[in-house]
Amino acid sequence: MLLINCPYCGERDQSEFTNGGEAHVARPKDPDQVNDREWSEYVFVRANPKGIYYERWVHTHGCKKWFNAIRDTSTDEILKIYKMGETPPPIKRFKNTLRSPSGEPDVGSGNFTVKKP
């Protein structure tokens, strides 16, 4: 269970929060004008990388406020938390260590080729 530092309340257990998916996915300015493909990309397509990821969280059982986080999905380490409306820090600022728990390769789940880094 993660420990998440809510920018309004402080450190709380993960069980108090809800994940809101990828952050900074821009809604098309004029939804009536986009075609189905562009609309479905906005609704469904997400980056889902193995590594550093922008995402949204909401403190459901607390202040109920939304905020953004930068998390390394391979280690579940939360690298930065910032409020809604703040400029997202560039991803380059964080070192992508890709240190995954069971020594998996950089890409894929590693079900077949388990090798230590």
Give contact residues for other proteins (rule: CB under 8 A): 1-3, 13, 75-76, 99, 101-103, 114, 116
Q: How far is the CB of 59 from other proteins (least distance, A)?
A: 17
Nearer to other proteins, 42 or 73 (CB): 73
**Separation between Cα atoms, residue 91 and residue 62, nearest integer Å:** 29
**Separation between Cα atoms, residue 39 and residue 33, nearest integer Å:** 10
DSSP type of residue 90: P
Nearer to other proteins, 92 or 116 (CB): 116
Q: How far is the CB of 84 from other proteins (least distance, A)?
A: 24
Nearer to other proteins, 34 or 96 (CB): 96
Q: How far is the CB of 3 from other proteins (least distance, A)?
A: 4
3-state SS, one letter per residue, for 51-69: CEEEEEEECCCCCCCEEEE
What is the phi/psi pair of residue 92, to 5°?
-60, -25
